[in-house]
Structure formats: C-alpha cells, structure tokens
Amino acid sequence: NAGVTQTPKFRVLKTGQSMTLLCAQDMNHEYMYWYRQDPGMGLRLIHYSVGEGTTAKGEVPDGYNVSRLKKQNFLLGLESAAPSQTSVYFCASSLEGGSGANVLTFGAGSRLTVL
C-alpha cells in the first residue's frame, strides 16, 4: 500500500520553463490537495480537488494549474516557472474534507528550484 506518491522528488528548472508534478494515491480518497512549504511559513494551499473532474483554487493559486482527470491522480502544472516558485511542494489526500473530519495523508514532497 503506497499511500500518496509524488514524482519527481527533485527538479531544477530555469525561469520560463514548464513542468508538471504528479500526485498519485491508492486509498480511494475523494479529496486531494497541493501545498507549498517555504522556510518559516506554514503550509499554504495552492489548489485542491473534492473529486474526480473537479478542481478549486486555494490560498496561493497564481502561476499554477491543476487537473484531476482520474480519481487517483492530481497533477500540478507550472506553465512558466518563476524563482518565486522555488519551494517544497506537498500533495495530500483525505477520504473526505470540508468539516475537517478526516485525516490528511501526505506525500514525501517534491523540492523544486527555479533558477
């Protein structure tokens, strides 16, 4: 049982390049989330999804796009990377959401550096 798997774990990009982070979960969770973590700050929600085919903006969505074509996968795209997007990105999933009644399961993180 793999839980939540993120790929790639590390990536270095040049400004203006594009890339996609993949998050896959095998727990049949409905809700999936992308967070970024920067030094000295709490986790910040980028985008989230409450089910297959749905996406919604979080706290810091600018510069990112997401897709949830399959229930088990949640993709985070950077169309034109900027140095401000240098961060560690975490994917998480939960059985449900909203009321906070369910525990989050996190991936191991993806460290992205934009030069």
Partner 1 sequence: KNEVEQSPQNLTAQEGEFITINCSYSVGISALHWLQQHPGGGIVSLFMLSSGKKKHGRLIATINIQEKHSSLHITASHPRDSAVYICAVSPCMDSNYQLIWGAGTKLIIKP
Q: Which residues bind partner 1 (CB under 8 A)?
A: 31, 33, 40-45, 48, 50, 56, 58-59, 88, 90, 92, 97-106, 108-109, 111
Task: Report cis status (omega within 30 of 0) of the bond before 83.
Answer: no
Q: Which is nearer to partner 1, 17 or 27 (CB)?
A: 27
The three-state secondary structure class of 98 is: coil
Provide the 8-state DSSP code for 70: S
In whole angstroms, how close is the CB of 16 to partner 1 at the nearest point?
A: 27
72: its two tokens: 């088990």
Q: How far is the CB of 96 from partner 1 (least distance, A)?
A: 9
Query: CA–CA separation, 23 vs 41, rounded Å?
Result: 23
Between 13 and 92, CB nearer to partner 1: 92
